Structures are given as structure tokens and as C-alpha cells.
Amino acid sequence: MKPADYLIKGVSLPDGKKADIAISDGVIASLSNGFKGEANTIIDGSECVALPGLVDLHTHLREPGREDAETVLSGSRAGAKGGFTALSAMANTSPVADTAGVVEQVYRLGQEAGLLDVFPIGAVTQGLKGEALSEIGAMADSVARVRVFSDDGNCVFDPLVMRRALEYIKKFGGLIAQHAQDPRMTIGSQMNEGVVSARLGLKGWPAVAEEAIIARDVLLADHVKSRLHICHLTTAGGVEIIRWAKARGIDVTAEVTPHHLLLTDDLASSYDPVYKVNPPLRTESDVHALREALADGTIDIVATDHAPHPTEAKECEWQEAAFGMLGLETALSIVQKTMVDTGLMNWVQVAERMSITPARIGGYESHGQALVSGSIANLVVINPTQKWTVDRDLVVSNSSNTPYHGHELPGVVAHTFYKGVATLINGNLTSIGGM
């Protein structure tokens, strides 16, 4: 018998059971106690946990158009470093991904990079303007087989346009991912509306500007019996609406970002624009509600909203700075810190919220599979007992706008396997794909 490509010895599975995982020819060749064969590369997994490869339904890769901030390749590297084997690339590029040509370009660039699967998201409306629908059918039929559509960055504000989009995607089992932000109520908004914004004199962004859109859209999804996904939920009130909608049987899913599980609006007191993000950081009680909702499944998944920006767009006055922060390389550590180390979730639930469920929502069939013999070897091995300190000068993203610079975080992503090949080994990116 030929040797296995890799053998991960004595690793914990999400449920705590120990196993030797042998990987050969792109699949998990065996999962056993006491693997007897040979292997080309042997990895000691005794302190580690293996999870199905992480899937991010919300990443901004910035290519085409702002390759100084991120490219498909640099974002793929950041993903592999963070334990991801698939990510969805948001449509707010330049040009906007509102035609088959652009989504096919992004998809091809992902294949060329070869470090993970890049699934392009198509724009709902032409140019993200919220008016005429984009070429939804052509993008769905393209090589990229787009199933998720979003104007993220912008809200699909016109209810008639939203209704038409929800009706259109039903034909092929698609999904509309809404960036819930009433644009009229948030003109010039700089941060969460509350005690801190009043003290700092920064224009506030009320929770109701998010919640009113979520409420409207779950009702619309119910009315046309279509699938709706709410991007980056941030408020306790939003959680209540999703809970109500699910109890009523409405086909809605929701995501939360790692940063909204940890950071709060009082960080704006530093006037450091690294904390300026859309939707904004909210209050302690919102963070508490988001954690509870992620634990009980009201919020289905964690998605990073990885939003790279060049230095000049972030290192300026708060009012002028771009919205957004990096997320791919720190997501798992923040989830461990906020959800696992606090006892709110176990690793089985982390696997569900960061891999199995996002893969199901996006329709990414080769991802989010249970770790069993014969399944495609998309997996991540993490060491939850180790700590590391984030250094913005060492991130592999093309940008460095991480809010965690200098923070010590739990959980080191040790190894990432994409289709049976290591993209990350002992925390170091390997030289496969477009490198």
C-alpha cells in the first residue's frame, strides 16, 4: 500500500474523540485509532482539534479594482492562514460583480490562486445602485454558478426591487443576502447612536435603521416564500426579529461577525478609525444578545466581513476614514475567546457555525462535510491551548487594518488542508497554487 500523503496523529475531533486522520489523493482516506500504514508527512495532533475547513460567506477581496487593498490571491492566503477552505467574495468591486463576465473573472482568479474555493457573490442591482436588477440569471448560469446575491456595502432599500429580487432567485434556489441599513436614517452616520456618540459629538447610527430593514425583509421573504439571509446582525432588537421570524417558519438565516461578538462602541472614544466599521460596533448588551443568539442557533453562522483598506484610507481623521476591518486571520481566535472559552459553545457548534451551516446556506457542497472516511479533505487543525499576539505588520492580507494589533488571542490555526493538500503547515503558508 502506498504511503498516505499526510497523517494527523491523535487529534481530537469536534466531539472530543481522538483519531488518526490519514489524507490521500484529496480525501480523508481513513479515520481510525492507531493508523498502521506509512505517511509522507506526519503531524502530531495531540494538543489539537480538527474541524471541517472554515467557510466564510462574507469576504471583501477588492479585486478587480482595488488590488492595493487585497487581491484574490492575497485574500486566499489570508483565508488559508485563518483556517478557511472556501469563501464568498462580495460584489462591491470595481467594476461591480453584476455581470457574468466579472463573476467568472473572480472565480477564475480563485482557481488560479488555488488555496481555497472562491465563490463570487453577484450584485442584486446594477452598479449596487438599488434600482434595476443585475444580470442575476446570467450569473447563475455562468461558470461561477452564482447562488448568493448581495449589494453588500449598500442596502437594497426599495421594497419593490427587493421583492422582485427575492422572486427571481426562487427559480434556481438562490439567496438574497441583505445589508440591512436604512440609508435615509444613516446619512452621515459615523458610529452607533447612543451615549458614546452623544459624548463624542459623532453622528449616530440608530439600531432601528438596521432593525426596520430586517423586519421588512423577513415579511417580504414570507410573502413571496423565498430565501433571505441577513448580513452582519449587530443589535439585540435584530436578534428578536430573527427569532420571531424563525418561530413563524420564515426561511431566513443570519450571520454575526467576530468583531461584533467582542468589541463595543466605547472604543470610538480613542478616535482610532481602526474601530470604524459598517455596521458599527454596538453596546455591551447588544454583544451579550449576539453571543446568546449564536449559541442557541438564532444566528446561524459567523461570517468575517473581512474588509481590507489601504493605510491612507484608515490612518486619517475618524470622519474621513473608510468603514471596515480585517477578519479572516483572527476569526477563529475571536470565536474561541468569545464563545468557547466562555463556555457558551463547544467545538461541535463551532464546526456548525463556521463550516457546516455556511456551506449549506451557500450551497457549497464540497465544504462543511463531517470528518469521515471518504469525504473531501477540506479541514483545519487548530491548537486551542496555544496563544498568539496579533501583529498588523505580519498579517498576510495586503492591508493591515486589524483592530487586534498587540492583542494576545487564544487558539492557533496550525494546519489547513484544501482538497487534501496542505495550504498551511505549522502556521506557515505552503508554496502551492499561485505562489
Residues identified as active-site = 305
Nearer to Zn ion, 65 or 101 (CB): 65
Residue 379: name the closest of 54, 19, 88, 9 by CA: 54
Q: How far is the CB of 234 from Zn ion (least distance, A)?
A: 10
Residue 353: name the closest of 262, 257, 278 by CA: 257
Residue 365 identity (one-letter amino acid): E
Say how far residue 110 (Cα) sits from the centre of its chain: 16
Nearer to Zn ion, 179 or 282 (CB): 179
Nearer to Zn ion, 60 or 77 (CB): 60
Q: How far is the CB of 247 from Zn ion (least distance, A)?
A: 26
Q: Give the nearest residue (CB) to Zn ion.
A: 179
Residue 343 identity (one-letter amino acid): G
User: What nine digits make up the cell of 27?
Assistant: 480525501
C-alpha–C-alpha distance, residues 32 and 373, integer Å = 9
Q: By the criterion CB under 5 A, which residues form the site for Zn ion? A: 152, 179, 231
Q: How far is the CB of 411 from Zn ion (least distance, A)?
A: 26
First to last CA, the chain: 32
Preceding peptide of 3 cis, ω within 30°? no
Q: How far is the CB of 325 from Zn ion (least distance, A)?
A: 12
Q: Torsions phi, psi of 229, nearest 5?
A: -125, 135
Nearer to Zn ion, 106 or 231 (CB): 231
Nearer to Zn ion, 21 or 231 (CB): 231
Q: How far is the CB of 208 from Zn ion (least distance, A)?
A: 17
Q: Do residues 185 and 209 touch, judged by C-beta distance below 8 A?
A: yes
C-alpha–C-alpha distance, residues 297 and 370, integer Å = 19
